[in-house]
Amino acid sequence: MNKVALLLIAFTLFGNIRGYTQKDTVKTSRVNLEDADYIGISKFIAQNAKRIIGNVELRQDDIVMFCDSAYFYAKQNNFSAFGNVHLIKGDSIEVFSDTLYHLGNEKKSKFRGNVTMLDKNVKLYTDSLNYDIMRNTAYYFNGGKIVDSASTLESMLGRYYTNRETFFFKDSVVVTTEKYTMHTDTLEYHTRSNMAIFRGPTTVLSDSNKLYAERGWYDTERDIGRINQNAKYSNENQTLDCDTLFYNRNKGYGEAFSNVVLKSLKDSIHLTSNYAYYDERNESSIATDSATLIQISTSDTTYLHADTLRSFVDTADGTVRNIFAYYKAQMFSDNVQLRCDSIAFSFKDSIVRLFGNPVIWSDSSQLKANHMHFQIVNNELKKVFLKENAIIISEKDTLYYNQIKGFEITGDLEAHELKHAVVNRRSETIYYLEEEGQINSMNKTRCRKMDVYFENGQAQKVVWISEPKGKVLPLNDLNEGNMFFNEFEWLDHLRPKKLLDIYKWKPYTPKR
């Protein structure tokens, strides 16, 4: 008996299935049987159900369903489908499963067993899927996986809004791409734009770095993202903490905003600011807005501030190669302070060069010259070099100042304190003498070279070399003309005397 004859008998016995649509008073469409190899009924079949077997095709509006067999409840407008279930909605959505339970009046479908949902370029795999067709919403609750052209996403709970092509995921969410893996608790994913929006603790891992935040978004196709709330970035050489971080993985750069802390893991250097730009390709960074470089040593911690800080890293071994600080650079530590227009620091030769009216203070000594640089050994200042109009001034009291000047001065420091200085070429000193703790005269001497030894910032011993020439003047013979060298400028009012002072730049106004 052919298929047509079977259908005619079935319609005669049970009534025309399409006829149920005429009795429908609910504002919903009917499920219609379009095709099948066999339709039957018996006492062994569920009550009010028709048994449909072989090449089953059912339709409701723009929804077409295929399966191997089904129970069709025409009166209730429901059916249960079994074996090779295939649902097609419109021209974009398809769902495959082992079993389907469909409520026609509510247009709700429950897919069970080996479920696959296709929507354009998106594939969803799960064991159980509920699909609310009227609300264009599908959700799974026992684990699922979504695959598109750019990524694979897995979670325990998931909801898909088909008209918006948007997913919401919850619990053990993992996003995997060719370049990274993301772990989070809650995620919203837009398949049209490949945009992932996460809420809650989130980690993004790649071969070379790690990102962490508690809120943000990530474009999985363009590999760019913006994260905030405890944003953290790290690689084998550095870590970065901030309030907000923008990151472009393809171009290898990031921008950090507010409470930025960049730490080098291979030395004791930290960089803080409220804005920083980091290029991971050459491991260079730029920091502005309260930018501060912090260097930690065993004896002291040094803080350097300027309008802009730039650092370049040797990518071979991860050691900081150069640091530039400009403009209005000021440095503070317990024993040494300085200010100048700009600073260049080369870790290759451990030399720090100062430009633009440089001044260094060590205890009660002030060092100044046209050109200055100092050398760092084991993260500590060890030598300072002054050239052209070089002068060291120590305040004896508010009226008298010990002064040492020359064309070149080389100073030795211990624990950031000036201990010894060698003065070369046109060396001169103004040195006040005491008797019973009272200043009673001034020694003014010049020679080609001299050695000076310091204690607590004061010159305690002067050794004149190469035929010194000088004289001792009593206090009564002193006047402004012979008490000060031409290079004398007492700049204590410009000195950063506490850490916060490095953020307050004072105009250069020499005071005698």
Which CATH architecture best describes the domain 29-135?
Answer: Sandwich (2.60)
Does the fold of domain 332-511 match that of domain 29-135? yes
Q: Structure tokens of 372?
A: 């200055």
93-103/78-89 β-pairing: antiparallel
| pLDDT (tens digit per residue) in 193-228 | 888 899 899 998 998 889 899 999 989 788 899 998
pLDDT tens digit string along 298-350?
Answer: 777 889 999 999 988 765 666 667 889 999 999 999 888 999 999 998 877 88
Q: What mean pLDDT comes out for the span 34-38?
A: 94
Determine contact, residues 67/86, Cβ cutoff 8 Å: yes
The phi, psi pair for 170, rounded to 5°, reads -145, 140
Q: What is the pLDDT of residue 13?
A: 29
Over residues 460-471, the pLDDT tens digits come to 888 888 778 989
pLDDT mean over 414-438: 88
Q: Which of 504, 510, 36, 463 is nearest to 290 (CA)?
A: 504
Residue found by looking up tokens 């501030």 in the block? 305
- Asked if residue 20 has pLDDT above 60, the reply is no
54: pLDDT strictly greater than 50: yes
pLDDT at 5: 32
pLDDT in tens, 157-168: 999 998 888 989
16 vs 436, higher pLDDT: 436
Do the beta carbons of residue 473 and residue 441 sit within 8 Å? yes
Round the average pLDDT of the chain to a whole number and report it.
Answer: 87
Among candidate residues 165, 232, 170, the one with its CA nearest the CA of residue 195: 165
| pLDDT tens figures, 368-391 | 999 999 888 877 778 999 999 999
| pLDDT band at residue 43 using 50, 70 and 90 as cut-offs | low
Note the pLDDT of residue 285: 85
Proportion of the chain above pLDDT 70, given as a percent: 92
Q: What is the value of pTM for the model shown?
A: 0.75
Domain range 332-511, CATH class: mainly beta
Domain boundaries, the chain: 29-135, 332-511
SS3 content of the chain, % helix, strand, coil (to 5): 5, 65, 30
Beta bridge partners of 59: 32, 64
Q: CA 2, CA 264: separation in Å to the nearest integer?
A: 81
Q: What contacts 486, CB < 8 A, 6 or more positions away?
A: none
